[in-house]
Amino acid sequence: MSIIARNLTWGVRGRTIVSDVSLSVAPGETLGLIGPNGSGKSSLLRLLAGLRQPQSGGVEINGRDIARVPRRALAREMAFVRQDSATDTNVTVRDVVRLGRTPHRSALSGWTAADEQAVTMALERVDMISHRGQSWQTLSGGERQRVHIARALAQSPQVMFLDEPTNHLDIHHQIEILRLVRRLDLTSIIALHDLNLAAMFCDRILVLREGATVAFGTPRTVLTESLLREVFRVEAKVNGAERPHIVFCPGQEFGSGPTVRQWDDEPSGQGFRALPG
């Protein structure tokens, strides 16, 4: 499914939070949203998913105006993994993932073999099948995150919106989840803070600053040293051939703080030393 957003603007109490953002995502493509804290990534994701109405502009999913598609129909096509998902405490992992099937079931139909299969497959895909009977309350942060991703997968969506899906995950599961989202036949839009993961897994990247688009293109064209300096306020070297690989360089201003004393022990002659790649 394709997604096209035109001139999306949204704000609250006179403050503009998303400002005139336009983008397009082709069927099967993975778009990364990056930007500093508070730049509007989560707000833009909600607008794109139709969870919030823009003050101006609009979103089309496969040529249909999202504002005119009934919510239930949207829920059969699109899944949203929130940045901080909460779930009622007294449920098992399997119960949480079963909720993903809700949009596909009518009031009259019972739980079907297809529903069961979707839940099992989703739990397997996030490596949580062995936890299916465990109480949600007792899961670790990363396990909860994987279960929420499983719930979204159980929805069998064609479009997936993921708001920082990797933020509690160990490096193996960060890579596995992003690889999985890419492997599935899905259109996906993912807000990410890890710029190297964005470079590795996204077809295109949109950079937000104070709600506005600063850059939109392939990782190679977007992730430049000057953009990292201007938007993210970090010094970095961008290496890599096909896809950029960013090596952050703690700058001069970091040299005086006690937390980075370690860098002073091995002087590079430039006041900083590149982090190991």
Element (DSSP H or E) covering residue 165:
none
Where in 67-86 is the site for ligand ATP (CB under 6 A)?
83
Q: Name the residue among 249, 246, 153, 166 with its Cα closest to residue 200.
A: 246
Residue from the set 17, 180, 212, 274 that interacts with ligand ATP by CB under 6 A: 17
Positions of E strands within 90-243: 159-163, 187-191, 204-209, 212-217, 235-239
Among ligand ATP, Mg ion, none, the one that 35 touches (CB under a kind-dependent 5 to 8 A) is: ligand ATP
Angle at 153 between CA 2 and CA 107, to 5 degrees: 95
Q: Site map for ligand ATP, 166-205, x if CB under 6 A?
A: ----------------------------------------
Nearer to ligand ATP, 33 or 123 (CB): 33
Where in 83-142 is the site for ligand ATP (CB under 6 A)?
83
Nearer to ligand ATP, 39 or 158 (CB): 39
Nearer to ligand ATP, 82 or 273 (CB): 82
Nearer to Mg ion, 127 or 210 (CB): 210
Sequence-ordered list of residues with C-beta below 8 angstroms from that of 197, at least 6 positions apart, any chain: 166, 174, 175, 178
Q: Residue 99 CA to chain centroid, in angstroms?
A: 21
Nearest 10 degrees: Cα torsion 239, 241, 245, 248: 0
Nearer to ligand ATP, 118 or 199 (CB): 199
Number of residues lying near ligand ATP (CB under 6 A): 11
Among ligand ATP, Mg ion, none, the one that 37 touches (CB under a kind-dependent 5 to 8 A) is: ligand ATP
Q: Interface with Mg ion includes 155 (CB under 5 A)?
A: no
Nearer to ligand ATP, 208 or 249 (CB): 208
Where in 31-50 is the site for ligand ATP (CB under 6 A)?
35, 37-43
- Please, what is the minimum distance in Å from the beta carbon of residue 125 to ligand ATP? 25
Where in 24-63 is the site for Mg ion (CB under 5 A)?
41-42
d(CA 159, CA 152): 10
- Please, what is the minimum distance in Å from the beta carbon of residue 207 to Mg ion? 14
Q: Which residue is nearest to Mg ion (CB)?
A: 42
Where in 244-273 is the site for Mg ion (CB under 5 A)?
none
d(CA 218, CA 106): 41
Nearer to ligand ATP, 13 or 71 (CB): 13
| 3-class DSSP state of 170 | coil
Q: Are residues 35 and 207 in contact, defined by beta-carbon separation less than 8 angstroms?
A: yes
d(CA 70, CA 66): 8
Among ligand ATP, Mg ion, none, the one that 188 touches (CB under a kind-dependent 5 to 8 A) is: none
Nearest 10 degrees: Cα torsion 24, 163, 157, 59: -30
Q: Are residues 207 and 219 in contact, defined by beta-carbon separation less than 8 angstroms?
A: no
Residues that bind Mg ion (CB under 5 A): 41-42, 83
- Which residues sit at the interface with ligand ATP, rule CB under 6 A? 12, 17, 35, 37-43, 83
